[in-house]
């Protein structure tokens, strides 16, 4: 049975091997290419999205209130009330 210390040492050596191999360079290049691709797209951050979501929710609430008010005024107008 392998003891935890031996597994940790094996993991550490494997990590060192990967860091010194071309695989690490490929990972860095892939991340750089993905970042470049995303920067060319018209994307928004999560923070910007959440802010706009809140603005839309407030606008919707105001619209609902105004629609209810107009409906009430139309009802009064049709009933001949003031």
CA–centroid distance for 50 within its chain: 8
Q: Are residues 82 and 57 in the same domain?
A: yes
Q: Are residues 3 and 26 in the same domain?
A: yes
Q: Are residues 3 and 38 in the same domain?
A: yes
Q: Are residues 36 and 67 in the same domain?
A: no
User: Which one of 24-33, 40-49, 69-78 scores highest in mean pLDDT?
Assistant: 69-78
CA 81, CA 15: separation in Å to the nearest integer?
81
pTM of the model: 0.50
Q: Are residues 21 and 33 in the same domain?
A: yes
Q: What pLDDT is attached to residue 50?
A: 97
Range of the domain at 68: 44-82
Question: Buried b vs exposed e over 11-47: b needs ≥16 C-beta within 10 Å?
Answer: eeeeeeeeeeeeeeeeeeeeeeeeeeeeeeeeeeeee
């Amino acid at each position: 049975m392998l003891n935890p210390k031996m597994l940790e040492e094996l993991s550490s050596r494997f990590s060192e091997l990967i860091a010194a191999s071309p695989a690490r360079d490929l990972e860095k290049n892939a991340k750089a290419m993905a970042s470049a691709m995303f920067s060319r797209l018209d994307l928004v951050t999560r923070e910007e999205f959440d802010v706009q979501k809140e603005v839309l929710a407030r606008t919707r609430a105001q619209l609902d209130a105004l629609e209810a008010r107009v409906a009430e005024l139309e009802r009064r107008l049709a009933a001949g009330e003031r």
